[in-house]
Amino acid sequence: MNASPLVDYLRTYGPSASSDSLYDEHVLKSANLHRVDPIEVGSSLVTELADNFRSTEPRNVILTGTAGDGKTWHCRKIFTALGGTRETWDAGQGLVELGLPGERTLVVVKDLSEFHDDPRQEEILKGFLESLMGRSTNTFYLVAANDGQLLRFWRTYSQIHPEARSVEATIRTMLKENKPTDGFLRLLMHNLSQKPHGALFDSIVTEVMNHRGWSGCEGCGLNDDGRCPIRRNLNVLSGTEMRNRLRDMIDLAAANDTHLPMRHILLLVVNIVLGVSGRKSVLLDCTSARSLVTEGNEVMSNPYDNALGLNLRRGENRDYLAFSVFENAGIGQETNNTIDTLLIEALPKEYHDRYVANDLLHGASLFEEQRARYRRGDAEDFSEFQTALETQRRRLFFVLPVTERNDELDPWRLSVFMHGGSYLRFSDDLRAGRSPDMLKSKLVVGLNRSYSGTMTDDGTSVWFTAPAGNTQSRVGRVLDIELPLGGTPRDIVAFDFDAKGSFDRPRMVVTGREGIRGPAKPIESNPLQPLLFEYLMRVESGSLPGSFSRQCYEELRQFRLRVVARLSRLELIALDDLKEMRIVRLDNDGHLRDESIGVTEQA
């Protein structure tokens, strides 16, 4: 039996309190210890920033974000791209210097937090400040720091160095608006937590899958006869559907402001490939992989459960962001009648054969005993059946193909984000300049039902309405304003969706023109995150998602109040003009109409 150094190295990235994946330098030491190439993914940012420091007018660079998103890794790659050696890098205690063209010097601060109580911190600040303000033209800085550490660094010296206060304010604004540059400072800043995480996941899977260390498995009996659980899990992960679903879930989480740094993505990938349940260690090595096969327990290494961290001790998966993203999506708990019929009744047969019975290890054969007992009505413990059913649902989430129509066999039906696939397509269309008119109309119907409190089918205009007084009056709701979807050059004010929110995300936006055919400019907007998108799509389909409806309804209410306030300030609506007050009611044809409330002024 061969023992794979690559497998032993990958284990250091896994879910463990003693994991060596916490810091870049530990990863390098681990790779050297196991004599394998470290996991490296390409980054266009490395080339871009190395070119910056080679240029005749370089800028200082700050790499910020959250822990584990590759800041120190990027610093090291930039350092070596500029001619620095690994030996020099390793010798530097938190800080390393390198000569640049034109008799300049690059100072690399590997991790600003290491200098919290270090007397060198003020020395770093003085030099960095001089370079940022343009007074020093020979020394430039490359600094890695988490968001909070970065702001605290400048705040600490704001009383001693007055310029530090203005630098802190500028950087705070750059972070909030995701701006890489500012006219005030000689600086480039990149928030690595806001980079495309789905693309990073793809790169990591490709790197792990194609790592030359797998060649060491040649000659291993388990590998040669196709029974190695590690290689089987790797093949499952590399397959189109599971890889796509994982990438999409990571992108969806990022759109909901839950960002998976590089460290957590590596942890996820490694746990899918090496995870095992019911063993002392939650990760396989070559010895335990052979034991599983010998015992006939290969099923204990289930890549679909591993994606949620279910191989860990009960509840421990919640300690890891990578697993909580999938658990919070309700994968396994959410379902519909069509999918459960597929699993329990094996109907339609062609779909069951293609997506359930085809997996001889984790599919129908694993579920058959529980399924048969349930159908005979002699299941002794329903909780066991429920657990087995949830396992099959989780697997289907990762193997069913996405359907363009979002029908009942769409895998997203197995998650809280039933319309997750639609959200991703909607986002892609907006970014590409395409107009997803059908989805826009559905969202507007959801908005109108939320604002009007009726089952309207209006999808061409947004009706911003308010309660009639402070009551649940049957008279109707008071119209603030009706805004056409998309609008025309003749519409002074209109409503639409675009992808010009923070980090190029979708948003709802109200635009205005100064005159007919003038350019439309944003007046007010609100992010359209996956949770709000899901709410509106469910409302449009006639269901009320109680678990998050209150949160989303309040978000929509606040958006309406902001829109009305802005339009009032621009004198586009008159809130206090009783003569213009109109009531909104639902017609028999399902459309909203407005009519004068009939208020007249007394002489």
For 586-600, give the secondary structure using H, E and C: ECCCCCEEEEECCCC
342's tokens: 């597929």
Q: Please give the span between the terminal C-alpha atoms of the chain, in angstroms, as a whole number.
A: 101
Give residue-wise pLDDT tens across range 388-423. Answer: 999 999 999 999 999 877 689 999 999 999 999 999
| pLDDT for 436 | 95
Judge whether residue 368 has pLDDT over 50: yes
- Phi/psi region, residue 515 (left: phi>0; alpha: psi -120 to 50; beta: rest), is beta
3-state secondary structure of 495: strand
Q: Are 572 and 560 in contact (CB under 8 A)?
A: no
Q: Which residues of 491-509 are buried (b: 16+ CB within 10 A; e: fewer)?
A: bebbbbbbbebeeebbbbb
Output 580 or 424, whichever has higher pLDDT. Answer: 424
Q: Order of strands, edge to edge, in the sheet holding 477-484?
A: 461-467, 477-484, 582-586, 592-596
The string of DSSP codes covering 500-561 is -SGGG--EEEEEE-SSTTPPPEEEEEEE--HHHHHHHHHHHTT---HHHHHHHHHHHHHHHH
Q: Give the domain ranges of the chain.
A: 5-38+211-329, 44-191, 337-414, 435-596
| pLDDT confidence of residue 23 | 56
Q: Characterize 423-460 residue by residue with b for buried, 16 or more Cβ atoms within 10 angstroms of its Cβ, and e for exposed.
A: bbbbbebbeeeeebeebbbbbbbbbbbbbbebebebbe
Distance CA 272, CA 275 (A): 6
515: which 2 tokens? 């005159």
Q: Is the pLDDT of residue 102 over 90?
A: no
Angstrom distance (rounded) from CA 424 to CA 428: 6
Look at residue 471 in the predicted model and tell me its pLDDT: 46
Whether the per-residue pLDDT at 590 is higher than 80: the answer is yes
From the list 43, 195, 22, the residue with the least C-alpha distance to 111 is 22
Q: How far is it, in rounded angstroms, from Cα 122 to Cα 157?
A: 8
Separation of alpha carbons 403 and 410, rounded Å: 6
302 pLDDT tier (thresholds 50, 70, 90): very high
pLDDT of 519 above 80: yes
Q: Which three-class secondary structure string do you get for 167-223?
A: HHHHHHHHHHHCCCCCCCCCEEEEEHHHCCHHHHHHHHHHHHHCCHHHHHHCCCHHH
Sign of CA dihedral 433, 438, 444, 446: negative
Rounded to 10°, the helix 229-238/197-209 angle is 140
In the three-class reduction of DSSP (H, G, I as helix; E, B as strand; rest coil), residue 147 is classed as helix
**Is 474's pLDDT higher than 60?**
no
How far apart are alpha carbons 116 and 138 in whole angstroms?
A: 26
Residues in the chain: 603
The continuous run of DSSP H or E covering 31 comes out as helix 24-34
- The sign of the torsion formed by the CA atoms of 241, 402, 426, 548 equals negative
Residue-wise pLDDT for 47-66, tens only, equals: 999 999 999 999 999 999 88
Phi, psi angle pair for 19, to nearest 5° = -60, 140
Which of 114-118, 125-129, 560-564 has maximum average pLDDT?
560-564
pLDDT in tens, 25-42: 667 778 888 888 888 887
d(CA 11, CA 446): 47
H/E stretch holding 143 reads strand 139-144
Summarize pLDDT for 247-285 with one digit per residue, the tens.
999 999 999 988 888 889 999 999 999 999 999 999 999
List the structure tokens of 531: 């949770």
Report the distance separating Cα 374 and Cα 352, nearest Å: 18
Give me 597's structure tokens: 């409330």
Strand 507-512 versus strand 521-527 pairing type? antiparallel
Q: Within 10 A of 65 (CB to CB), how many other CB atoms are there?
A: 23
Backbone angles phi and psi of 467, in degrees to 5: -60, 150
